[in-house]
Amino acid sequence: MAKRSLWGSKAGFLLAAIGSAVGLGNIWRFGYMAYENGGGAFLVPYAAALVLAGIPLMILEYTLGHREKASSPLAFARIDRRWETIGWWMPTVAFFGITLFYAVVIGWCMNYFVFSFNQAWGSDTGAFFMETFLQASDSPFDLGGIRWPILGGTILTWGISWTICYREVNHGIEKASMVFMPLLFVLTLVLVGWSLQLEGAWEAIKTHYLSAEWGKINPFTASGSKVWVAAFGQIFFTLSLGFGIMITYASYLPKKTDIVGNALITSVLNCLYSFLTGFAVFGTIGFMAASKGVPFAEAIKSGPGLAFVVYPEAINQLPSGQTIFGLLFFLVLIMAGLSSAISLIEAFCCSLIDKFSFSRKKTVTVVCLIGCLGSVIFTTRAGLWILDIVDHFVNNYGLVTGGIVECLLVGWVLKAAVARRHVDGAGGVKLPKLWEVLIKFVTPSILIIVIGFALYSEFSGNYGDYSTKALLCLGVGWLVAAFIISIVLMRYPWSGAKLAHEHEPEEDHLLV
């Protein structure tokens, strides 16, 4: 069996892991969630979610990958062969459910990077995005042909991702992360600094981002409980948990490593990055609202609307430096997106390599070609609607399901005490026994509640006013397809040598 690659340095691993966690959602979702859910008060449930779910699950995934030296399918199979399907489910639903459209969104960012040179979006940025750029159709089933500029950006995204993932992890992803992440942080700081000096920026930040509406986070009210559920959901998604990524990345760590310390650094820095970008978002939108004389609530949007409608409109209002500000903003989005995309590709490719002993170069090449072809449907005129539906179902059900199963597998099948003993034996910060309680009881219970709220919302009315047919075919259907692929991949037998992974003797007697 070929020797497994290792990270060249701790810094390289951490930058790659943080790069996976830091994505487009950190920039265009966190600030809006804070605004909607109590401003500065939202940081309380957000911090609680980080401590009770985010960090414990990050430690769990690092432990699983490091202990088994394997991707999620092989790690799950070594613990109990019957759980392997879920080990496949995690990277499969993430790759086919997220990477395919994520590459297209990065392609949008690449187009807008070019548009920034002369503000090609014009004065009506909303109409330009929906009608000129996307040429959005009226229905998810009305594909209406491919948008060639978007396809071009998407192919370029897959090409860059292939170039990075093609080489061994310590030469490809690690070296790319050593360039991408410091540059991303520097550019983000420049963007924040620039935003803060705009007229009306500080007023908007103080009034809408940092001021606390404590009544909104009362967990004993219906609206307050939703805020807490939203905070836990956001933590889960923002840390790239349930994708199989962190299990894969941790499998490349050396025998002696600080699992707890690494998990703390990854989780905390990712959340701090989200908080930091909030200043740029609120400062820029505050400036735009002041320039146009409209209320802040009327100006702010979440998701693609923020990046491709609100920000270009704010750039239009700048007295000078429109081109540089636009280039800077969309370059930040491109780098944040690419660092996450390569991690999603790596998790799926590593799973295939572990199972079938394919060569890395052939696996990455074939997977990127399949991915690029799969992305084409999101480059059509119905792409935005299909993306919205798939994203909703994958995030609300696909990934959270993986997180719940992880907790059950490690907490009750492997036994949490075995995992904790492994962490302590690996060196670094010792893992308190409280972690066992969180993984066995608290974290899975919270994730079940998150899914429960999502299901309740689902049955209260169709998401996004889409037709039931669209939600079933494109949302539920996408999940079902990913599950079928997972079952097919699981049924191929492992070689005995791969499943018979040896562990430290002091751990074996705990396997009861």
Residue 419 burial by Cβ neighbours in a 10 Å radius (0-12, 13-18, 19+): buried
Look up the domain containing 437 and give its range.
10-508
Helix (H/G/I), strand (E/B), else coil: 9: coil
Residue 144 falls within a domain, yes or no? Answer: yes
The count of structural domains within the chain is 1
Q: At what angle do helices 173-196 and 259-292 cross, to 10 degrees?
A: 40
The identity of residue 113, as a single letter, is F
pTM of the model: 0.95
Residue 321 falls within a domain, yes or no? Answer: yes
Q: Give the CATH number of the domain where residue 74 resides.
A: 1.20.1740.10
Q: Which residues are paired to 212 by β-bridges?
A: 39
DSSP conformation letters of 305-369: HIIIIIHHHHHHH-SS-HHHHHHHHHHHHHHHHHHHHHHHHHHHHHHHHHHH---HHHHHHHHHH
CB-based contact 209:33 (threshold 8 Å): no
CB-based contact 337:106 (threshold 8 Å): yes
Residue 4 falls within a domain, yes or no? Answer: no
Residues in CB range of 90: below 8 A, 6 or more apart: 72, 242, 243, 244, 247, 347, 399, 402
Joined together, the tokens standing for residue 296 give: 């802040």
Residue 1 falls within a domain, yes or no? Answer: no
What does the angle CA 154 – CA 308 – CA 185 come to, to the nearest 5 degrees? Answer: 80
Residue 3 falls within a domain, yes or no? Answer: no
Lookup result for tokens 């790759």? 95
Residue 2 falls within a domain, yes or no? Answer: no
Residue 5 falls within a domain, yes or no? Answer: no
- pLDDT (tens digit, 0 to 9) for every residue of the chain, 512 residues total? 567 899 999 999 999 999 999 999 899 889 889 999 999 999 999 999 999 999 999 999 999 999 999 999 999 999 999 999 999 999 999 999 999 999 999 999 999 999 999 999 999 999 999 999 999 999 999 999 999 999 999 999 999 999 999 999 999 999 999 999 999 999 999 999 999 999 999 999 999 999 999 999 999 998 999 999 989 989 988 999 999 999 999 999 999 999 999 999 999 999 999 999 999 999 999 999 999 999 999 998 888 989 999 999 999 999 999 999 999 999 999 999 999 999 999 999 999 999 999 999 999 999 999 999 999 999 999 999 999 999 999 988 998 999 999 999 999 999 999 999 999 999 999 999 999 999 999 999 999 999 999 999 999 999 999 999 999 999 999 999 999 999 999 999 987 678 876 665 444 333 22
CB-based contact 163:248 (threshold 8 Å): no
Helix (H/G/I), strand (E/B), else coil: 39: strand
